[in-house]
Amino acid sequence: MDDRQRRAWAALGIGPAWLLRDPSARAEADGVASGEAEATPTSGPLSEPTTEPISEPISEPISESPMVIARSPGPGVRRDTAIAGLSWPALSEAVSGCRACGLCEGRRNTVFGTGPNPARWMLVGEAPGQQEDLSGEPFVGAAGQLLDQMLRAIGVDRAGETFIANVLKCRPPGNRDPRPEEVACCEPYLLRQVELLQPRLIVVMGRFAAQSLLRTDATVGSLRGRVHAWRAGDREVPLVVTYHPAYLLRNLPDKAKAWADLRLARRTFDALG
């Protein structure tokens, strides 16, 4: 195992047991003092507007199956860098076994996302709700039904050409808002998903998805209605912001704006040729 691989394994919390046998070393590797329920954030809150992806991919995918994601990497190791090198199956497995923040304690299932890979369209929501936690699939509840209708209305086949994911892969208790440290822990998974799926167009739904991918504190109202360029390596992917379907269920007048956003997304997609 070379140094790069050893660092990546350490960041993922995998590797030979002797690396973790000393209990104090384990607490340090986990980034948690014993008895602490919440995870230590691996990066700060999302405040700086930039469309640069935050991860630096390492050159070769790591093919090993990570069983445990460490709460924070060892000295000198970035967890997001390790995740940025995972293959699709390893990423999926890493999400299933993730214990990076306190949300793992209450989940029934992680929700990795569903759809084809590669995907022509990628839709990004906030976090699983109760139905999604039970089923392990995104957008299967009431918001999902509205989303299905909206996609049908612009001629997008959800199952055939759309990958749907969330910023958080685990349900926040009582469907509360995601916390900055939870977003920070989960975001590297989403960024790697986007890189591997290579969508032609991304639609982000709601404040948390928009703020996470665009690295901004701006509101949905100020971000919607135009096409953003999202940088994935050397590619620029058009990204459209719209309201979250669950919000639209409670705020019917904004449905017209969401409809305009989706038509913008459709036109942008069609113009790609």
> Could you list the residues that contact ligand URA (CB under 6 A)?
125-129, 132, 138-139, 141, 143, 166, 246
Q: Least Å distance between CB 39 and ligand URA?
A: 21
Residue nearest to ligand URA (CB): 125
Please say which residue, 142 or 272, places its beta carbon nearer to ligand URA: 142
Q: How far is the CB of 53 from ligand URA (least distance, A)?
A: 21
Closer to ligand URA by Cβ: residue 31 or 128 = 128
Residues in contact with 54: Cβ distance below 8 Å, sequence separation at least 6, in sequence order: 43, 80, 187, 188, 191, 215
Q: How far is the CB of 67 from ligand URA (least distance, A)?
A: 25
Nearest-approach distance from CB 20 to ligand URA, in angstroms: 34
Which tokens sit at 177?
């808002």
Which lies closer to ligand URA via its Cβ, residue 43 or residue 131? 131
Say which amino acid occupies 164: I
Residue 217 near residue 47, CB atoms below 8 Å: yes
58 CB-near residues (< 8 Å, 6+ apart): 4, 8, 81, 82, 84, 85
For residues 125 and 145, what is the distance between their CA atoms, to the nearest angstrom?
14
Return the structure tokens found at 111: 């929700």
